[in-house]
Chain A
Amino acid sequence: MAGLERQRQLLDFALSSLARRPMKNLASLTVYTAVVFLLSSVMLMSHAIRREAAALLAGAPELVVQRLVAGRHDLIPTDRLATIRAVRGVAAAGGRLWGYLFDPAVAANYTFLVPPDRSIAAGTAIIGSSVAAVRGVGPGDVMSFRGYDGRPVAFTVTSTIAAESALVAADLFLVSEGDFRRLFGIPADRFTDIVVTIRNPREVRTVAEKIDAALPDARIILRDEMRRTYESVFDWREGMVLVLLVGAILAFAIFSWEKASGLSADERREIGILKAVGWETADVIGVKMLEGLVMSLTAFLAGYGLAFLHVFHFGARLFEPVLKGWSVLYPEFPLAPSVDEIQMASLFFFTVFPYTLATIVPIWRAAVVDPDMVMR
């Protein structure tokens, strides 16, 4: 009990010492919290999106066959369906019709899609929640677009897709096959691409190789590759996230270095006085370590807690300008709270320990010198 009380007395002293320099320590705590907040927000958001992507794309087409012309995606002739269906191992193959339309009224891009069951009646459309929001339309309203030949093609909105599905359907515009072909001028013997179902999932690669051999101008995309694309989204090794991370780490390194590289005259005098009145070197180091631990633990808890609220309760609002880019449609999707324990432990380790340890070296250097020398 006496040992515990002694530690508590040291903690009281450490806190009083922090309180003697309120502005400096408050500024340090704010910067520290901001760094943890930024790193945690990126970490939580990327993990949650990867998790949702894996769940949502589990039922994605097993194989998509595109036609490439001069390195670019081109419309695929319908007779390729027969070639694909003839490949051993193929259970079914069907053409997909989808494409993009730029709506000059709101400068937004929509994804036009014909549902595989062709369940949409001619002249009608089902629209995604972001399309409805940006155009201010709902069931019963009419939307008209200029077709490929300049003639208007009108759609009566029958319903909107629920906002809870915005992560896959925010910009969708579901129309009938006839309307789609009329709007874009796509002939009846062309599809956008072909979706293939495989009899035995373990034979996907073999079947893909056979299709590739039968259709040399085709490009085949496997479901695994679709999922892998989203496994690396917001990856820390790529693009803006890397820039952000490097910036934050550099800021943190400068901040820690400033702390580690030297003590202020006040701090030196304080250590000298403590030594002069009989404090052991170990106690002085202990007090200063406690100061570092209090700062880093508080910053971690505050930064991480704020990041959790930011990502899962406020829709990662601060990242919106970066994610939105130049697009007009910005899907607002709820993310299910989920945490990667290893990522969280790494973040804790790399933010709390370096700072605490960084405080030891200069304190130790000051604490081992003669008190009279330190106070001069």
Chain B
Amino acid sequence: MSTLRVRPSTVLFAILAVGGVAFGTTCVEACLGPGRAAVRLARTARLAERLQLTDLCLFTEARYTRHASQADRHAAFQDHPAALEHFPSGSLMPPSGAANRASP
């Protein structure tokens, strides 16, 4: 009696097919995602507009990372000019877009 032997390439094709379907699903989800989130985003955007909010609430540990766009130029060096940055989020949040503008 002979045993049925599965070829290694058949197993690989099956694995790649599963991976391909998963990859395709992420692509479909990425295409549909913005549409599905549109209502939530619109509601949040309206709230942000009504409250005149200027920043995202990503980091709450330091004022210059909580309201990065409103922080003054020396915010990260609040103790003295040579003070090292001591909040971890300071290394993830860059200075505001306005920080390096000369004027106005």
Task: Name the A residues within 8 Å of B92 (CB-CB).
Answer: 233-234, 238-241, 322-323
Chain A: how many interface residues by the 8 Å CB criterion? Answer: 95
The CA of A73 and the CA of B73, in the complex, are separated in Å by 10
Mark interface residues in A299-329 (1 if CB within 8 Å of B CB, else 0): 0011011001000100000000011011111
Task: Identify which of B23, B41, B66 gathers the most chain A CB atoms within 10 Å of its CB.
Answer: B41
- A228 with B97, Cβ < 8 A, contacts A167-B57, A312-B29, A322-B92 known: yes
Task: Name the B residues within 8 Å of A133 (CB-CB).
Answer: none
- A327 with B26, Cβ < 8 A, contacts A96-B52, A302-B19, A322-B92 known: no
Mark interface residues in B53-71 (1 if CB within 8 Å of A CB, else 0): 1111111110100111111
CB <8 Å contact, B53 and A305: no
CB <8 Å contact, B68 and A229: yes
The answer to whether B79 has its CB under 8 Å from any CB of chain A is: no
The answer to whether A166 has its CB under 8 Å from any CB of chain B is: yes
Task: Name the B residues within 8 Å of A16 (CB-CB).
Answer: 8
Task: Name the B residues within 8 Å of A233 (CB-CB).
Answer: 56, 58, 68, 92-94
The CA of A195 and the CA of B56, in the complex, are separated in Å by 18
The answer to whether A66 has its CB under 8 Å from any CB of chain B is: yes
Task: Name the A residues within 8 Å of B7 (CB-CB).
Answer: 8, 12
Task: Name the A residues within 8 Å of B22 (CB-CB).
Answer: 301, 305
Task: Name the B residues within 8 Å of A66 (CB-CB).
Answer: 70, 72
Across the interface, name the chain B residue whose C-beta is closest to A224: B97
- A338 with B97, Cβ < 8 A, contacts A8-B9, A68-B72 known: no
The CA of A235 and the CA of B92, in the complex, are separated in Å by 8
The CA of A338 and the CA of B9, in the complex, are separated in Å by 33
Across the interface, name the chain A residue whose C-beta is closest to B46: A59
CB <8 Å contact, A71 and B72: yes
Q: Please tell me which one of the listed residues B20, B73, B88 contacts residue A322 in the complex, with CB atoms under 8 A apart.
A: B88
- A109 with B60, Cβ < 8 A, contacts A225-B96, A239-B92 known: yes
CB <8 Å contact, A301 and B16: yes
Q: Please tell me which one of the listed residues B26, B45, B48 contacts residue A339 in the complex, with CB atoms under 8 A apart.
A: B26
Mark interface residues in A104-117 (1 if CB within 8 Å of B CB, else 0): 00001101010111
CB <8 Å contact, A117 and B50: yes
Enumerate B12-57 residues with CB–CB distance to A below 8 Å. 12, 15-16, 19-20, 22-23, 26-27, 29-30, 32-34, 36-37, 40-41, 43-57
- Number of A-B contacts defined by CB within 8 Å: 241
Q: Please tell me which one of the listed residues B56, B59, B104 contacts residue A208 in the complex, with CB atoms under 8 A apart.
A: B104
Across the interface, name the chain A residue whose C-beta is closest to B91: A239
Q: Please tell me which one of the listed residues A60, A232, A241, A302 contacts residue B54 in the complex, with CB atoms under 8 A apart.
A: A60
Mark interface residues in A260-285 (1 if CB within 8 Å of B CB, else 0): 00000000000000000000000000
CB <8 Å contact, A336 and B88: no
CB <8 Å contact, A11 and B9: yes
CB <8 Å contact, B69 and A229: yes
CB <8 Å contact, B45 and A325: no
CB <8 Å contact, B30 and A339: yes
The CA of A218 and the CA of B74, in the complex, are separated in Å by 16
Q: Please tell me which one of the listed residues B26, B51, B87 contacts residue A113 in the complex, with CB atoms under 8 A apart.
A: B51
CB <8 Å contact, B20 and A301: yes
CB <8 Å contact, B44 and A165: yes
Task: Name the A residues within 8 Å of B80 (CB-CB).
Answer: none
The answer to whether B103 has its CB under 8 Å from any CB of chain A is: yes
Mark interface residues in A166-201 (1 if CB within 8 Å of B CB, else 0): 111111101000000000000000000101000000
Mark interface residues in A209-231 (1 if CB within 8 Å of B CB, else 0): 10111000001111011111110
Task: Name the B residues within 8 Å of A77 (CB-CB).
Answer: none
The CA of A68 and the CA of B32, in the complex, are separated in Å by 45
Task: Name the B residues within 8 Å of A61 (CB-CB).
Answer: 52, 54
Which 4 A/B pairs are nearest by Cβ-Cβ distance?
A212-B104, A59-B49, A336-B37, A228-B97
18 contacts between A and B (CB under 8 A): A15-B8, A58-B45, A60-B53, A116-B51, A169-B51, A170-B57, A220-B104, A225-B97, A225-B98, A229-B96, A229-B97, A232-B94, A235-B94, A304-B26, A325-B59, A329-B60, A331-B60, A338-B30
Given contacts A52-B56, A301-B20, 12 further A-B contacts (CB under 8 A): A8-B9, A57-B48, A100-B63, A116-B50, A219-B98, A224-B97, A226-B55, A226-B69, A233-B93, A297-B16, A304-B23, A305-B23
